[in-house]
């Protein structure tokens, strides 16, 4: 079952129901994880090695504090209960930029290498077991660790390839963005598809042959094998030294993968190549500072975050965390590099505001939609309204209703039709946007919220409006 258990205040997380070892529950702002009888022995073994304590101390595995099992008294067969810290936002691999997915893949491989030193192994290689605190990945499923079985193959190798390696190869070697494909195939991008897509000279690589081409051939041949031959295959043993070598080789390869220069879009340079002058940039930055200092949002959403310049400004002025969204992977890549370099509590994600991530997976609840995952305390939405209203033909009033509904307070920028950016958008199409005016924009804001403050960034071209939603 996904959803509520017996208590009205206890909600089972829709992404953890598949694991017989235990599930995650949300109650009164707390995150609790149960451990069932099926998972208790493995957890006890791993706990005694000290591995979890060490990795939690290094911020590579999420914190887990044992609490009284009575907190989940309605959960059957509950042997242990942990409390985890609450993350500011749950993101999914299809929303990460290339560098984010690569960082998550490297974390998994590093955890496997460290676990083997303690005779511990990961039972799976799901990318959904990784989340981000800022640009730093953290592993969240402590029940995925179990005792290492001497001579075992890495059973999750194919899952790792589908969910980490193949999407990275699609972009690094195929020059194709992985986000939309990954979102359409939640379990990752199958090796058979990558094998068909890559040109012949890419398949000459020993690494591609080992992790993509040969596994596809072997999987195809499995269908023709007799039961006895399948049993013999399953009984093969892999020395731990060979397993370590496999993991290290993957780590070295993925570390060296990079985003092709062609994937770095014009928007990734927008911070230094735009229609603003220095005074306008400073005006916009000062307004952002005043807003963040006044509201001090615990979680600020930056819709259309671009390279993260104003997200960093908001953090400096009082925002505790920023979650950024932009449709352009190249811009998000630059923003992610900014967050990583400056160690900012800022997570930029690839997301199309006109087509945000929906509820997906089993019964549409396993991977939640954008607005079902979290809420924001504050919002900045700069240079996004015209892209949605004119670029995507979404009525202006609908755009403003959606934006003001995301957070109780925020700042929204309106770009006039006379601005060079909007003129460029209208150059090759008819101007059918009679309702796209400053007056209509201000009326739409007032329909949904009170206007606290306005600011002319560039006279008769760009205006910032700070709003505050009215209390019902």
pLDDT at 418 over 80: yes
pLDDT at 410 over 70: yes
Share of the chain above pLDDT 70, in %: 92
Residue 4 in 3-state DSSP?
strand
pLDDT digits (tens, 9 = 90+) for 286-296: 999 999 999 99
pLDDT at 71 over 50: yes
End-to-end CA distance of the chain: 34
The pLDDT value recorded for residue 268 is: 54
Phi-psi region of 297 (alpha: psi -120 to 50; beta: other; left: phi over 0): beta
**Model confidence at 419, in pLDDT bands (50, 70, 90)?**
very high
Spell 107-139 as b/e; 16+ CB within 10 A means b.
bbbbbbebbbebebbbbbbbbbbbbbbbbbbbb
Residue 169's Cα: distance from chain center in Å?
18
Residue in 198, 408, 214 with CA at minimum distance from that of residue 296: 408
Phi-psi region of 296 (alpha: psi -120 to 50; beta: other; left: phi over 0): left
DSSP 81-92: EEEEPPPS----
The C-alpha torsion from 169 through 175 and 180 to 182, rounded to 10°, is: -10
Across 449-469, average pLDDT: 95
Can you tell me which residue has the tokens 């690839």?
Answer: 350
182 class by beta-carbon count within 10 Å (0-12 exposed, 13-18 middle, 19+ buried): buried
HSE value, Cβ hemisphere, 13 Å, CA-based, for 219: 12
Computed over every residue of the chain, the mean pLDDT equals 91
Q: Determine which helix (DSSP H) or strand (DSSP E) holds 197, and give its type and residue range.
A: helix 191-197
Residue in 360, 366, 354 with CA at minimum distance from that of residue 402: 354
Residue 138's Cα: distance from chain center in Å?
12
Q: Return d(Cα 432, Cα 429) in angstroms, integer.
A: 9
Structure-block tokens of residue 194: 């990558």
Q: Return d(Cα 126, Cα 255) in angstroms, integer.
A: 19
pLDDT at 322 over 60: yes
HSE value, Cβ hemisphere, 13 Å, CA-based, for 159: 14
Phi first, then psi, for residue 346 (nearest 5°) are -135, 120
Q: Return d(Cα 71, Cα 124) in angstroms, integer.
A: 28
pLDDT digits (tens, 9 = 90+) for 178-234: 999 999 999 999 999 999 998 888 888 999 999 999 889 887 765 555 565 545 555
Phi first, then psi, for residue 204 (nearest 5°) are -75, -15
Residue in 143, 124, 130 with CA at minimum distance from that of residue 92: 130
- Domains of the chain listed by start with CATH number: 3-84 (3.30.200), 93-260 (1.10.510), 266-469 (3.40.50.150)
Phi first, then psi, for residue 393 (nearest 5°) are 60, 30
**Model confidence at 237, in pLDDT bands (50, 70, 90)?**
confident
The pLDDT value recorded for residue 1 is: 38
Question: Is the separation of the CB atoms in 403 and 381 below 8 Å?
Answer: yes
The H helix count followed by the E strand count for the chain is: 20, 17
Q: Determine which helix (DSSP H) or strand (DSSP E) holds 292, and give its type and residue range.
A: helix 278-295
Question: Is the separation of the CB atoms in 310 and 285 below 8 Å?
Answer: yes
Instruction: Please name the residues in contact with 101: beta carbons below 8 A apart, sequence gap of 6 or more.
Output: 93, 127, 164, 167, 168, 178
The C-alpha torsion from 260 through 265 and 269 to 270, rounded to 10°, is: -160
């Amino acid at each position: 079952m996904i959803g509520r258990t017996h208590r009205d205040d206890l909600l089972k997380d829709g992404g953890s129901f598949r694991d017989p070892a235990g599930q995650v529950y949300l109650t009164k702002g707390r995150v609790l994880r149960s451990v069932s009888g099926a998972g208790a022995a493995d957890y006890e073994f791993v706990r005694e090695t000290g591995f979890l304590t060490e990795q939690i101390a290094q911020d590579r595995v999420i914190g887990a504090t044992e609490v009284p099992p009575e907190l989940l008294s309605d959960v059957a067969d509950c042997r242990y209960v942990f409390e985890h810290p609450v993350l500011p936002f749950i993101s999914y691999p299809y929303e990460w930029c290339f560098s984010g997915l690569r960082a998550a893949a490297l974390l998994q491989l590093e955890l496997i290498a460290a676990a083997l030193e303690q005779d511990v192994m990961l039972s799976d290689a799901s990318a959904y077991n990784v989340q981000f605190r800022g640009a730093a990945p953290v592993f969240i499923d402590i029940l995925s660790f179990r005792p290492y079985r001497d001579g075992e193959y890495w059973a999750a190798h194919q899952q790792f390839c589908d969910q980490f390696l193949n999407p990275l190869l699609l972009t690094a070697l195929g020059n194709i963005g992985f986000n939309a494909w990954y979102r359409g195939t939640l379990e990752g991008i199958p090796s058979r598809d990558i094998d068909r897509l890559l040109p012949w000279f890419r398949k000459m690589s020993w690494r591609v042959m080992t992790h993509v081409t040969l596994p596809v051939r072997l999987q195809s041949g499995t269908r023709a094998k007799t039961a006895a031959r399948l049993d013999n295959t399953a009984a093969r043993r892999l020395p731990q030294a060979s397993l370590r070598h496999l993991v290290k080789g993957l780590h070295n390869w993925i570390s060296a993968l990079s985003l092709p220069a062609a994937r770095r879009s014009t928007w990734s340079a927008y911070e230094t190549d735009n229609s603003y002058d220095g005074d306008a940039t400073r005006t916009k930055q000062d307004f952002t500072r005043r807003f963040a200092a006044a509201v001090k949002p615990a979680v600020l959403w930056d819709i259309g975050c671009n390279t993260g310049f104003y997200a960093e400004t908001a953090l400096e002025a009082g925002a505790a965390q920023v979650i950024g969204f932009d449709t352009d992977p190249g811009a998000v890549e630059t923003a992610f590099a900014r967050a990583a370099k400056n160690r900012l509590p800022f997570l930029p994600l690839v997301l199309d505001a006109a087509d945000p991530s929906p509820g997906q997976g089993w019964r549409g609840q396993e991977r939640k939609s954008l607005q079902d995952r979290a809420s924001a305390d504050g919002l900045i939405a700069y240079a996004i309204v015209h892209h949605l209203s004119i670029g995507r033909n979404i009525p202006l009033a609908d755009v403003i209703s959606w934006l003001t509904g995301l957070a109780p307070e925020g700042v929204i920028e309106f770009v006039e039709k006379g601005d060079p950016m909007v003129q460029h958008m209208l150059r090759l199409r008819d101007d059918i946007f009679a309702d796209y005016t400053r007056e209509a924009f201000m009326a739409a804001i007032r329909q949904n919220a009170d206007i606290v403050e306005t600011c002319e960034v560039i006279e008769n071209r760009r205006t910032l409006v700070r709003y505050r939603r009215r209390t019902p």
